[in-house]
A and B are shown apart, each in its own frame.
Chain A
């Protein structure tokens, strides 16, 4: 069974630009959640989607948004990038929202 797939793996963006990250969950998993990982802050929850509906949202500004499609694939978008948005963005999928399985992440560098 294929794992969680995230694309792109690495990207560099300039301040003020926007970025879209993609996630394909494990087959059969309807819950997709996103986390931001930075050295000082650990794993910070961004949001969780289940059957195209956002069920939970973390404490991030409105520049961070996401969506889920009918095939459970998900995207997250960050607009007006800031230097502090440089991080590893992790997608995780789950059957029930509790036992979550992570992808390898997308490394975002904002310059």
Chain B
């Protein structure tokens, strides 16, 4: 089955700096890579996703990049703000009936 590794497990940045979270996946058939943000006491919320036919996708301050050859994908948050503090999960799935497999999560702390 699919295995998703995510690092770092914790990340502290100063407000205004950039944050990068990296993930690798094992199944070359995976073709969909979503990212979720989970705030304390809430369920994970989908913030951005990318499909395997695209190398990069941006949405305001967040962007995701995908390197299919290396099986790497990353989340980039620019101009971080205190409200970006949360746990972020990467995930991978293979399309069709394959389940979504999550990374272990990264706790991001943005220091004002």
Contacts and interface: CB of A to CB of B under 8 A. Distances in A.
A55 B96 CA distance: 10
Interface string B78-112: 00000000000100010111111111110000000
A43 B102 contact: yes
B42 interface: yes
Contacts of B105: 42-43
Interface stretch (A62-70, A71-79, A95-103): A95-103
Contacts of B32: 98-99
Of A48, A90, A100, most buried by chain B (CB within 10 Å of CB) is A100
A104 B42 contact: yes
B103 A42 contact: yes
A54 to B, nearest CB: 11
B27 to A, nearest CB: 14
Nearest to B42: A104
Interface residues of B, number: 22
| Range class of the A interface residue count | 20 to 34
25 contacts: A33-B99, A33-B100, A35-B102, A42-B89, A42-B103, A42-B104, A43-B44, A43-B102, A45-B100, A48-B97, A48-B99, A56-B98, A97-B93, A97-B98, A98-B32, A98-B34, A98-B95, A98-B100, A99-B34, A99-B49, A100-B34, A100-B46, A100-B100, A102-B36, A104-B42
Interface of A: 4, 33, 35, 42-43, 45, 48, 50, 55-56, 58, 90, 97-105
Given A42-B103, A98-B93, 19 more contacts: A33-B99, A42-B104, A43-B89, A45-B99, A48-B99, A56-B97, A56-B99, A97-B93, A97-B98, A98-B32, A98-B95, A98-B100, A99-B49, A100-B34, A100-B46, A102-B36, A102-B45, A103-B43, A104-B43
